[in-house]
A and B are shown apart, each in its own frame.
Chain A
Amino acid sequence: MKSALIVFLKEVRENLRDKRTVVNTLVTGPLMGPLLFVLLINTLVSRELEKAEAPLKLPVIGAEHAPNLIEALRQQRIEIQPGPADAERAVRDQDADVVLRIPPRYAESWNQGEPAQVELVFDESQRDAQSAVRRLQGALEGYAQRTGALRLLARGLSPAVMKPVVIAERDQSTPQSRSGQMFGILPYFFILGALIGGMALAIDTTAGERERQSLEPLLANPVPRSQILAGKLATTTAFSMTTVLLSMVAFGIASRFLPTDKLGMDLHLGLDFVLRGLFVMLPLAALLAGLQTMVAAFAKSYREAQTWLGLLTFVPAIPTMLLTVLPFKPQTWMYAVPLMGQQVALTRFLRGETVNSDALVLCFVCTTLAALLVYFVTSRIYRSERLAISA
């Protein structure tokens, strides 16, 4: 183990002197995620809030056919604007989120007691327009119900006959779980941080060392190759964990600048999260370091290693996407799968939920076993003759 430690200390010292590596590990890796996230969430949230509070500007075609309806909408803080000549086109070109069209027959139908039709022109695929459409729908339905109730009363009937079933919604989501949903992508940033933090090291200690022609003299020393590899892996893991730690701290600070209170959300990014998060991330960082080193050892050159490791960066996105798109209920077996276990555990930590310690130990042990397996495979590659010899 002493030789592994010597290799570790030397690699740490050497790489701390490399500006590019240091910037990657200490700045780009940890900060890119939080910055992106804060920017994104802030824009999204403030736009949503703005829309909910600000008067809704609504282009209306044929407003003159339904003065009462228009007045009712105005009372709902909807600002009526003259409609465009071509409603469909205005929506397609995103000049308007939604257009209300009142046909000339509206008054006639209304007076005869028939359902009077109004048209909403909108584009469902425009996410941005959805809140405007929903608000307008709500206002129109409210108006229809009020009018309907009045007509029933005029005929001596209780409006209750129209409501055989009343739905009362009991939303079980807590502020924590709502933030978990929205912040489900957060664990990916930590896993990505681990990959970015280890990448430069994994390349430098293998393909880089060979390309600089220093691997052959190194292997001439009376030290088993498995120990040299262990030292190099420890360095990569240490840098990658540093990136993860810094990115957790950065997220903790960044979350203070998020209008989470306005959304009624609660993010648990405190010391407790950092400690538990580091616990589940440590074996994963070792596993990823092993994989990166294995790939880089196969590569013939620094450049080739960079290309392959760039592709490897997309692998952790797979469980993230699966878990975000498919609403999985966290199951115990998921903790046993490296990457997925960390994803599930980190998401639950963020939501402030308790994860029982058995599941955490399962996550730690299984990922550690996977890391050891990768270490043994990589050390086999390290024993091959071709490894040391630069082309």
Chain B
Amino acid sequence: MIEVRNLHKTFGSGAKKVIAVDGVSFVARDGEITGLLGPNGAGKTTTLRCLYTLMRPDSGQVLVDGVDAAADPLAVRRNLGVLPDARGLYKRLTARENIAYFGRLHGLDEATIRARSDAAIRALEMEDIAERRTEGFSQGQRVKTAIARALVHDPKNVILDEPTNGLDVMATRAMRAFLKQLKGEGRCVLFSSHIMQEVAALCDRIVVIARGRVVADESPDALRAQTGEANLEDAFVRLIGSDEGLAA
């Protein structure tokens, strides 16, 4: 479970000051898919970066399975599987070697790494590319490798920043199925997206972020009811376009 309480993050100072995250709070529960929905530049990536302790929030608290990220960042990272916005692979290593590197950094023994890699390679249908160097991989193949790498330590909580970005229709469908499988295994899945349909199709809970603030935190049905729009996309536009009425 991931809990975020009143998160603030500002970049720069003086005239160049940018308030990226301005009091974000939400909870992502185990066995659910939580979607972080917002337009580009709304503060989704910064919020996620605070969650996996790449950045320190100016104020506010992040708890992962009850562990405070500020107090014990290593323990938090141990309980998280992360697919960041940047998902570069080591192109001179094979897909399997890329996965094993992160497994070792998580302190897993070689037998466990072998078993987990095999399982992930099967689940993500990447048997044909597992022993190839990742140079020249397609976008889809790269994302698959990055996900297998992020989940090699079997984390209870999974954070994905725009996981379907740049994927074609088939790869996107496979990704959605995979997220549902993670949910079925009882994990806490949190992902960000700016695509309405994707969030609607997958999420048990939608957290809408605009200009660094949470403007809605509901189930898809409740969101429709709250905005009075039958169509989720209209609901989304209404939420982020008129945040003054909703921010309070």
Contacts and interface: CB of A to CB of B under 8 A. Distances in A.
Contacts of A213: 86-88
Interface string A188-229: 000000000000000000000100111111111111100000
A220 B80 contact: yes
Given A222-B75, A222-B106, A385-B54, A217 B88 contact: yes
Nearest to B146: A217
A166 to B, nearest CB: 73
A215 B106 contact: no
Interface stretch (A11-19, A55-63, A170-178, A313-321): A11-19
Nearest to A14: B92
A209 B78 CA distance: 22
Given A222-B75, A222-B77, A385-B55, A217 B92 contact: no
A214 B83 CA distance: 11
Contacts of B93: 10, 13-14, 17
A220 B91 CA distance: 19
A184 B93 CA distance: 43
B86 A220 contact: no
A49 B166 CA distance: 71
Given A385-B54, A385-B56, A216 B86 contact: yes
A28 interface: no
Contacts of B52: 220
B80 A214 contact: no
Nearest to A219: B54
A223 B105 contact: yes
Contacts of B105: 3, 6-7, 218, 221-223
Nearest to A211: B88
Nearest to B149: A217
A255 interface: no
B188 interface: no
A385 B54 CA distance: 7
B56 A212 contact: no
B101 A6 contact: yes
Contacts of B89: 212, 214
A385 B101 CA distance: 23
A6 B105 CA distance: 7
B82 interface: yes
B150 interface: yes
A245 interface: no
Interface in B87-108: 87-93, 97, 101-102, 104-107
Interface residues of A, number: 28
Contacts of A222: 74-75, 77-78, 105-107
Nearest to A387: B54
Contact of A215 (B55, B80, B86): B86
Interface in B47-85: 52, 54-56, 74-75, 77-78, 80, 82-85
A218 B92 CA distance: 16
A356 to B, nearest CB: 45
Contacts of B146: 217
Interface string B145-175: 0100110000000000000000000000000
Contacts of B83: 217
B82 A212 contact: no
Interface in A355-391: 385, 388-390
B74 A216 contact: no
Contacts of A212: 88-91
Given A216-B54, A216-B86, A221 B102 contact: yes
Given A217-B150, A220-B77, A10 B84 contact: no
Contacts of A218: 105
Contacts of A388: 54
Nearest to B92: A17
A222 B75 CA distance: 7
B71 to A, nearest CB: 14
A220 B106 contact: no
Interface of A: 2-3, 6-7, 10, 13-15, 17-18, 209, 212-224, 385, 388-390
Given A217-B149, A220-B84, A221-B106, 6 more contacts: A212-B90, A215-B86, A216-B84, A216-B85, A217-B83, A385-B55
11 contacts: A2-B107, A6-B104, A10-B90, A18-B92, A214-B88, A220-B80, A221-B106, A222-B77, A224-B74, A385-B55, A390-B86
